[in-house]
Amino acid sequence: MAQLSSKSRSELGDAMFGLPGQRKYPVPDKSHARNALARASQQYNAGRLSASEKAQIDAKAHAKLGK
């Protein structure tokens, strides 16, 4: 996965995040989208993410991956 510096991350628009309101789970490219899917699943299974938040992240990541 390509590095995403804090400066680059702060320059991303809200639309580039799985959870835009919280600016979490950035999906600027395919490798970050795959990572967002994996991390969202981990957080959901640990009880730290709701089903609707996971679905929102999954939809954004799948759109970036072309699925």
Per-residue pLDDT at 1: 73
Report how many domains make up the chain: 1
- The answer as to whether 14 is a domain residue is no
- The answer as to whether 17 is a domain residue is no
> What amino acid occupies position 31?
S
- The answer as to whether 38 is a domain residue is yes
- The answer as to whether 13 is a domain residue is no
Per-residue pLDDT at 67: 83
Domain that holds residue 41: 22-65
- The answer as to whether 48 is a domain residue is yes
User: Is residue 51 within 8 Å of residue 44, measured between CB atoms?
Assistant: yes
- The answer as to whether 9 is a domain residue is no
pTM of the predicted protein model: 0.92
What mean pLDDT do residues 33-58 have? 98
Rg (CA), the chain: 11
- The answer as to whether 8 is a domain residue is no
